[in-house]
Amino acid sequence: MNELKERPNIGPLIHKQLLEIGVTTFIELQKLGATGAWEKIYHIDPSSCINKLLALEGAIRGIPKKDIDTLSKDDLRQFVRHIKQHKKNL
């Protein structure tokens, strides 16, 4: 059984994208971190948004993305805004 698919929030699309960026195990996802994984996914799928990042963070924490605390959500939103703004400026 594929352990990534067993994590909360990891549906078929995110699982496929994780494999595309070379993340095949939960340990690899943990090492890369939610922001690192999201940034790599964003390069192959520029439509990626905060919801995907929250899903990845929740998967690492082992919780549904809706249960991520407000402060963490705000930090992750700021990260997405920063990356998207940086890409616009290139």
Burial 1-19 (b: 16+ CB within 10 A, else e): eeebeebebbeeebbebbe
Give the domain range for residue 24: 3-89
Would you place residue 87 in the very low, low, confident or very high pLDDT band (cuts 50, 70, 90)? confident
User: Could you tell me if 46 and 90 are in contact, meaning their C-beta atoms sit under 8 angstroms apart?
Assistant: no
Burial 34-60 (b: 16+ CB within 10 A, else e): bbebbbbbbeeeeebebebbbbbbbbb
Write down the pLDDT at residue 2. Answer: 62
Query: Per the structure, how many domains does the chain have?
Result: 1
Q: What is the pLDDT of residues 43-70, one digit of tens each?
A: 999 999 999 999 999 999 999 999 999 9
CATH number at residue 75: 1.10.150.20
Q: What is the pLDDT of residues 2-55, one digit of tens each?
A: 699 999 999 999 999 999 999 999 999 999 999 999 999 999 999 999 999 999
